[in-house]
């Protein structure tokens, strides 16, 4: 554009010079033209053609200059170099055309038409080849020009993108510089904050180089050196648990925390380690005073716990501490002694499954859930023990205090049994009262009559014959012995013999005493008492009174079974023999037998088949207990024609092994 203006200014300058050279009026006069062969000598027509030809010539010159400039600029473009001849040829054509227009202006004043013709020949020579070449190149150009345009547009787009990228890079660089400034300021503030904190802070690179340490870190770690290897600064860490935690954080990129003792400084540290992009950050605190205090508290707590455990172990009660998840937290010495299944590694219910679905489980769970204390007694079947239990809710679970009351229970049962036996004896005595009065009154009457006869004879005759006195004395002794035996049996039956020592006793004596207590009552009510004893029965090592009580109970029951039901046959048989290592005593009655449903409960306490008011239902249960205590048994036989109770007692010199084909009714 600058060159075009320059050239237009030059053309204007040439025109002004011509106007100054020739007077303006003369230009439009008839005397202006040196010859009258151009444009009919019309000044207007001449100047019109001169001016337009001059403008065309100048325009062609400008176009030529532009094409020449494009050719020079595009000569380095590899894909476009083969088409530069077009620009060059077209530029020559334009230059030649411009020369013809210049000659048109020149010939107006100087009729040098040969030169004008020569210029036109040159122009034609430039135009015709150019036209031919354009005609031939036009088809190829029609395909190449879009590519050229696309190339030019792409080049322009890339240039614009490059410019935008450059601008973006400049902005990013500016932002980065600003960010670096902010980061530096933030780091300064962060370092100031880290220096003011009470924790030590270390930054360690991925190559284990110490990158940073705050003020507290330098105070706590005298060997700390920045830009030095961590392991060289603190060699005592190698091979410790702290090393494992540090390497885990560095390699596995997970945080870790721990407490460690560093021997060179004799200090305890609480350490938290976090992974960072550059390595890891270590935050640590000196807890030496805390550890000393904790150790002191732990020692005091252990001493107090030992004292408490000593107190707990010295108590007679067993103590268990149960957690809220029913784990066994604590057991004192007594609990470990009396609970063989106790295992602190197992839950309470795993140790004592026998308590599940019992009243004990209900009460324990109520204490745990409702936080209320409870007290009860229970029998734990796996141990065959009775316990008194008291539970209290405690923080985190419950506490169980318990002790064995088996001895007390046995004593209570023994007292109860003795009481029941006493009741039974009173019951039996009431039944035997009439018969005993008769049995004792008869000997007394005989003794009285004999003594009266002796008295009468003594009055009638001062000197009595010796034979008469001997006969009377013998009758008195015999009759009094009988009364003494009756009273002796009554005395043995009435007193408590549970604590008597085991002594050798004759089966015959035991049976005789039991029969003498019953035979008067049997005879008075028309019941035959049959006694069949095998010869040479061995001695028994027993409590004679208790065995006699068993036979008395069996004879009483047989008597009641016959008299209450008005049986047509009225007899009771007592038979004794030997069964392997045992003496066998059977009591058989002629009653109607015992119903099947009653057999299952026959020897349970307080179960009776007698008429209400005639029995307590404890005789058979107590008799069975006495037989078992002597190493024998008391059973109701099955498959017999009449009701038969069999008592088996071991020999004095034999083993307590008694076998019989009988069904033992369970109590």
pLDDT in tens, 636-658: 888 788 889 999 999 876 444 44
Residue 259 in tokens: 């407490």
17 within a domain of the structure (yes/no): no
Cα 606 to the center of its chain, rounded Å = 52
* 521 and 479 within one domain: yes
Where do we find the tokens 């064995």?
A: 404
Spatial separation of the C-alpha atoms in residues 339 and 354, rounded to whole Å: 13
Q: Is 188 exposed, middle or buried (0-12, 13-18, 19+ CB in 10 A)?
A: exposed
Spatial separation of the C-alpha atoms in residues 363 and 320, rounded to whole Å: 15
* 584 and 514 within one domain: yes
* 564 and 425 within one domain: yes
User: Residue 179: which residues within 8 A CB-CB, separation 6 or more?
Assistant: none
DSSP 419: H
Residue 401 in tokens: 């205090």
- Name the band, by pLDDT with cuts 50, 70 and 90, for residue 199: confident
Spatial separation of the C-alpha atoms in residues 184 and 180, rounded to whole Å: 6
pLDDT in tens, 242-293: 999 999 999 999 999 999 999 998 889 999 999 999 899 999 999 888 888 8
Domain extent at residue 552: 411-650
* 362 and 264 within one domain: no
Spatial separation of the C-alpha atoms in residues 421 and 616, rounded to whole Å: 10
Residue 296 in tokens: 């002191």
Q: What is the CATH number of the domain that holds 557?
A: 3.30.565.10
Interval 339-364 mean pLDDT: 87
Task: Please state the domain count of the chain.
Answer: 4
According to DSSP, the β-strands at 385-394 and 279-286 are unpaired
SS3 of residue 578 by DSSP: strand
Q: What is the pTM of this model?
A: 0.34
* 555 and 484 within one domain: yes
**Distances in whole angstroms, Cα of residue 140 to Cα of each of 83, 135, 148:** 10, 10, 12
Q: What is the CATH number of the domain that holds 241?
A: 3.30.450.20
- Name the band, by pLDDT with cuts 50, 70 and 90, for residue 576: very high
* 284 and 142 within one domain: no
* 142 and 208 within one domain: no
* 423 and 400 within one domain: no
Spatial separation of the C-alpha atoms in residues 491 and 544, rounded to whole Å: 12
- Name the band, by pLDDT with cuts 50, 70 and 90, for residue 490: low
* 518 and 632 within one domain: yes
666 within a domain of the structure (yes/no): no
Q: At what angle do helices 466-494 and 507-524 cross, to 10 degrees?
A: 90
Spatial separation of the C-alpha atoms in residues 113 and 664, rounded to whole Å: 168
655 within a domain of the structure (yes/no): no
* 359 and 232 within one domain: no
b (16+ CB within 10 A) / e for 5-20: eeeeeeeeeeeeeeee
Q: List Cβ<8 Å contacts ≥24 apart for 601-609.
A: 602/636, 602/665, 603/634, 603/665, 603/666, 603/667, 604/667, 605/420, 605/667
Residue 40 has pLDDT above 70, yes or no: no
Torsion of CA 624, 630, 636, 641, to 10 degrees: -140
Interval 205-213 mean pLDDT: 91
27 within a domain of the structure (yes/no): no
C-alpha angle 514-520-525 in degrees, rounded to nearest 5: 120
Least confident interval from 6-10, 22-26, 381-385, 444-448: 22-26
> Ramachandran region of residue 224, left (φ > 0), alpha (ψ -120 to 50) or beta?
beta
């Amino acid at each position: 554009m600058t060159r075009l203006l320059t050239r237009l200014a030059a053309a204007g300058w040439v025109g002004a010079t011509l106007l100054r050279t020739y007077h303006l009026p003369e230009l439009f006069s008839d005397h202006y033209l040196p010859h009258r062969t151009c444009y009919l000598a019309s000044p207007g027509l001449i100047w019109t053609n001169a001016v337009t030809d001059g403008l065309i010539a100048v325009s062609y010159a400008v176009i030529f200059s532009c094409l020449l400039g494009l050719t020079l600029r595009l000569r380095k473009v590899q894909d476009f170099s083969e088409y530069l001849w077009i620009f060059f040829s077209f530029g020559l054509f334009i230059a030649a055309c411009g020369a013809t227009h210049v000659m048109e202006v020149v010939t107006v004043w100087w009729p040098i038409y040969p030169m004008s013709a020569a210029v036109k020949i040159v122009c034609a020579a430039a135009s015709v080849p150019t036209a031919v070449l354009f005609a031939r190149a036009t088809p190829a150009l029609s395909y190449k020009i879009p590519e050229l345009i696309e190339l030019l547009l792409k080049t322009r787009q890339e240039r614009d993108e490059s410019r935008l990228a450059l601008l973006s890079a400049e902005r990013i660089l500016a932002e980065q510089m600003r960010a670096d400034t902010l980061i530096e300021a933030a780091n300064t503030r962060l370092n100031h904050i880290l220096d003011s904190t009470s924790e030590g802070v270390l930054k360690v690179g991925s190559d284990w180089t110490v990158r940073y340490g705050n003020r507290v870190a330098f105070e706590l770690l005298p060997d700390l050196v920045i830009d030095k290897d961590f392991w060289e600064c603190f060699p005592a860490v190698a091979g410790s648990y702290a090393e494992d935690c540090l390497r885990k954080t560095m390699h596995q990129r997970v945080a870790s925390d721990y407490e460690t003792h560093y021997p060179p400084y004799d200090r305890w540290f609480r350490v938290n380690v976090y992974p960072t992009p550059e390595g890891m950050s270590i935050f640590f605190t000196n807890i030496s005073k805390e550890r000393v205090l904790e150790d002191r508290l732990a020692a005091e707590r252990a001493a107090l716990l030992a004292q408490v455990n000593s107190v707990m172990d010295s108590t007679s009660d067993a103590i268990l501490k149960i957690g809220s998840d029913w784990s066994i937290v604590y057991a004192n010495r007594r609990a470990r002694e009396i609970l063989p299944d106790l295992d602190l590694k197992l839950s309470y219910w795993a140790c004592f499954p026998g308590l599940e679905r019992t009243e004990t489980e209900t009460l324990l769970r109520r204490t745990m859930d409702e936080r209320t204390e409870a007290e009860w007694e229970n029998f734990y079947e796996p141990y065959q023990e009775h316990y008194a239990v008291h539970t209290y809710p405690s923080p985190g679970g419950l506490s169980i205090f318990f002790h064995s009351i088996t001895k007390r229970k046995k004593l209570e049962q023994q007292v109860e049994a003795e009481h029941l036996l006493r009741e039974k004896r009173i019951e039996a005595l009431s039944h035997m009262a009439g018969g005993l009065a008769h049995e004792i009154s008869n000997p007394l009457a005989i003794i009285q009559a004999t003594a009266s006869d002796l008295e009468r004879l003594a009055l009638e005759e001062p000197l009595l014959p010796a034979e008469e006195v001997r006969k009377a004395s013998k009758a008195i002794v015999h009759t009094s012995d009988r009364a003494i035996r009756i009273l002796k049996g009554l005395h043995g039956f009435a007193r408590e013999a549970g604590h008597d020592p085991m002594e050798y006793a004759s089966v015959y004596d035991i049976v005789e005493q039991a029969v003498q207590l019953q035979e008067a009552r049997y005879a008075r009510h028309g019941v035959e008492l049959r006694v069949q004893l095998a010869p040479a029965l061995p001695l028994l090592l027993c409590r004679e009174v208790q065995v006699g009580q068993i036979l008395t109970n069996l004879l009483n029951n047989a008597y009641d079974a016959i008299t209450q039901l008005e049986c047509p046959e009225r007899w009771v048989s007592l038979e004794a023999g030997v069964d392997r290592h045992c003496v066998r005593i059977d009591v058989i009655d002629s009653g109607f037998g015992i119903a099947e449903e009653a057999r299952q409960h026959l020897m349970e306490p307080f179960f009776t088949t007698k008429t209400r008011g005639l029995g307590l239902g404890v005789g058979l249960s107590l008799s069975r207990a006495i037989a078992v205590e002597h190493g024998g048994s008391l059973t109701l036989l099955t498959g017999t024609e009449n009701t038969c109770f069999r008592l088996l007692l071991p020999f004095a010199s034999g083993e307590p092994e008694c076998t019989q084909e009988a069904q033992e009714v369970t109590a």
